[in-house]
Structure 1
Amino acid sequence: MQKQILTSGSSQLSLRVYDTPTPARASVVIGGAMGVRQDYYAPFAEWLSGQGFRVTTFDYRGSGDSLPDTADGGLRGFQADLMDWASDYEAVVDSAKAALPQAPLYLLGHSLGAQLPGFLKNQSKVDGLLSVAAGSGYWRDNAPQLKRMVLYFWYVLVPVATRLFGYFPGRKLKKVGDVPAGVMMQWRKWCLDPQYSVGAEGDSARRSYGGVTFPVLALSITDDELMTWRGTQNLINLYVNAPRVFERISPKDLAVKRIGHFGFFREQFAQTLWPRTAQSLERMGLPALMPDAVASMTV
């Protein structure tokens, strides 16, 4: 079911809700990666709803189905930054919680979707975060193949293209996707800071991340072409007061050649990785999920 909600600043946000065929045991809000439309998560969301979870996906303002209502649907001059995207996340959490107020609510964050929960103002409505292929975007934490070109990206391509077009034209450049100027330039600031978001945004951000007490389970992909194991640890450890568990997923565990940064949500893993998602969400409420544990994922 597709629906629209209004967020702070009266921006219209597009959501899709995947209801369960039986009474739902929990709600799951999927927070997407930078430049990735909610369409990408549709097969996974539909599968997860079949396992008894009410799933909500959404597009951040200025992206996907939440593009501004202009004659050409363009982003030139569109005002939005990452704090606005965090507000979008909050609005979706509010909507999902209102629909099932008595059920647990979990976040499933892919990349950026596991970074923004540190800024949520309604953290008390969240019962856990499952982080998939997420890490600090600080450039020294990037995977080696990305690190070779990332300084050119941040110091030349991003500022020049964003200034020229009035937004970051990622589709034309085949990098990231079309992103509002404010989002891209703030993300640039984060990625050039050794402490990523909390370093760039200061004490208020550190306090906000520190306010998270729900459990965080981080799945790190060994052949991720963007994120490293160190980057995953550096991001998740920003949630300093949350119970944290880290798991590593290797393609060889699944007898496949590749998973990568985006592969987790592809249908080829419907019989392997996806069932582990339901199990991981169920584990969120268990007292055995203790801080700073490190595990290897086996299938």
Structure 2
Amino acid sequence: MTARNHPLAATTYRPKTQVKTAVMIAPATGIKRQFYHNFATYLAENGFGVLTFDNEGIGKSLSTDLAKCDASLISWGRHDMPAVLDALQDEFADASYHLIGHSAGGQLLGLMPNYKAITSVFNVACSSGCIKNMDIPYKLKAMGFMDAFIPLANLTLGYTPADKVGMGEPLPRGVARQWREWCNGSGYIKTAFGKSIHTHFYDEINTPALWLGFSDDDIANSKNMDDMIRVFTKMPVEKRFLYPKDFGLSHIGHMRYFSSKTHTKAPELWQMAVDWLDKQP
């Protein structure tokens, strides 16, 4: 249950051994928790306790007509993610707690008032998503989605049917509106500082982090990764920018790191998460 008094759907993965390390997997914008099932199962098989969840307005965490849902990216970071971290601590007592963030799941960390409970961060495809840093032709696609599809859909439907254009689940209008605003500026959420965001922790977080990016990711390209990393002014970041061909893969992009097919062909990619977690206190 969040501070907004909203229940969130979540799934717990328990290893057979005693849990010393527990992980919350924070999803990308509009992505349901089932997407991370195989990866979460793999982590549990390696001895980690894991919690996946649907943000408010997504999947089983949608409890009203979507057009009436007032969730936003800000509420996801300020209310949903802290509630999940609290639940992770309840589920796995006497463990260390870690965040694995996919795209928005890593971006919104700086809104969490209880961030100090997190021992380390492992971010995948996490960046500012700044449109001006994208390459043609994807830049034109992003501009069409952000600057035409979202405003028109919000105006006519009261929400954004992102699923119709292959951009995840249908989105509450507040989520889609902020997504558009933040990707049209630099530093993603930084564009809202002093406007819709007056309290945040981006300048305080000094949690060690590993950020993975991929050369064929049109969204989280190297420039946009750096653009987002700069917002976390005190975070010690190890950035790994990887090339799919080096792992015998033709494509990873923004989403396929968590694919079981990716793991089958390149098991060392998921092993990076295990190795990172294993070396944390």
Give the structure-1-normalised TM-score. Answer: 0.87
CA apart distance, 1:158? 0.9
Asked if the contact 1:219/1:249 (under 8 Å) is kept, the reply is yes
CA apart distance, 1:205? 6.0
Task: Identify the residue that residue 10 of structure 1 maps to in structure 2.
Answer: 5
Q: Deviations over 1:113-169 (max 9, x none)?
A: 110101110011111110001110221133443212322322221101111111111
Task: Identify the residue that residue 137 of structure 2 maps to in structure 1.
Answer: 145
Partner of 1:92, secondary structure, is helix
Task: Identify the residue that residue 181 of structure 2 maps to in structure 1.
Answer: 189
CA apart distance, 1:189? 1.4
My pick for the range that moved more, 152-161 or 81-90, is: 152-161
Task: Identify the residue that residue 205 of structure 2 maps to in structure 1.
Answer: 212
Give the Cα–Cα distance (whole angstroms) in 2 for the partners of residues 67 and 166 of structure 1. Answer: 15
Task: Identify the residue that residue 234 of structure 1 maps to in structure 2.
Answer: 227
- AA of the residue aligned to 1:12: P
Task: Identify the residue that residue 76 of structure 1 maps to in structure 2.
Answer: 67
Structure 1 residues 205 and 268: CA distance shift in structure 2, 3 A = farther
Partner of 2:137, secondary structure, is helix
Task: Identify the residue that residue 3 of structure 1 maps to in structure 2.
Answer: none
CA apart distance, 1:102? 2.4
Out of 144, 153, 158, the residue aligned to residue 161 of structure 1 is: 153
Instruction: Please list every run of 5 or more consecutive structure 2 residues that lacks an aligned counterpart in the other structure.
Output: none
Give the Cα–Cα distance (whole angstroms) in 2 for the partners of residues 206 and 102 of structure 1. Answer: 30
CA apart distance, 1:43? 0.8
Asked if the contact 2:72/2:178 (under 8 Å) is kept, the reply is yes
Partner of 2:55, secondary structure, is coil
Structure 1 residues 206 and 76: CA distance shift in structure 2, 3 A = closer
- AA of the residue aligned to 1:162: N
Q: Deviations over 1:75-107 (max 9, x none)?
A: 012111112111101100011122334211110
Asked if the contact 2:163/2:170 (under 8 Å) is kept, the reply is yes
My pick for the range that moved more, 267-276 or 231-240, is: 267-276
Q: Deviations over 1:232-284 (max 9, x none)?
A: 11112211111111012211221121111111111123322112210022234
1:33 matches 2:28: yes
CA apart distance, 1:187? 1.6
Q: Number of paired residues?
A: 276
My pick for the range that moved more, 159-168 or 184-193, is: 184-193
Instruction: Please list every run of 5 or more consecutive structure 1 residues that lacks an aligned counterpart in the other structure.
Output: 1-5, 286-299
Asked if the contact 2:32/2:169 (under 8 Å) is kept, the reply is no
Structure 1 residues 28 and 189: CA distance shift in structure 2, 3 A = same
Give the Cα–Cα distance (whole angstroms) in 2 for the partners of residues 153 and 261 of structure 1. Answer: 16
Asked if the contact 1:145/1:225 (under 8 Å) is kept, the reply is no
Asked if the contact 2:24/2:50 (under 8 Å) is kept, the reply is yes
- AA of the residue aligned to 2:41: E
Out of 68, 73, 81, the residue aligned to residue 89 of structure 1 is: 81
Partner of 1:193, secondary structure, is coil
Q: Give runs of aligned pairs for residues 1-299 of structure 1, distance below 5 A.
A: 6-68=1-63, 70=64, 74-86=65-77, 87-202=79-194, 208-270=201-263, 271-285=267-281
My pick for the range that moved more, 169-178 or 248-257, is: 169-178
Give the Cα–Cα distance (whole angstroms) in 1 for the partners of residues 232 and 34 of structure 2. Answer: 29
Asked if the contact 2:186/2:227 (under 8 Å) is kept, the reply is no
Percent identity over the alignment is 30
Asked if the contact 1:197/1:205 (under 8 Å) is kept, the reply is no
CA apart distance, 1:206? 8.0
Give the Cα–Cα distance (whole angstroms) in 2 for the partners of residues 52 and 174 of structure 1. Answer: 34
My pick for the range that moved more, 179-188 or 148-157, is: 148-157
My pick for the range that moved more, 95-104 or 85-94, is: 95-104
CA apart distance, 1:207? 5.0
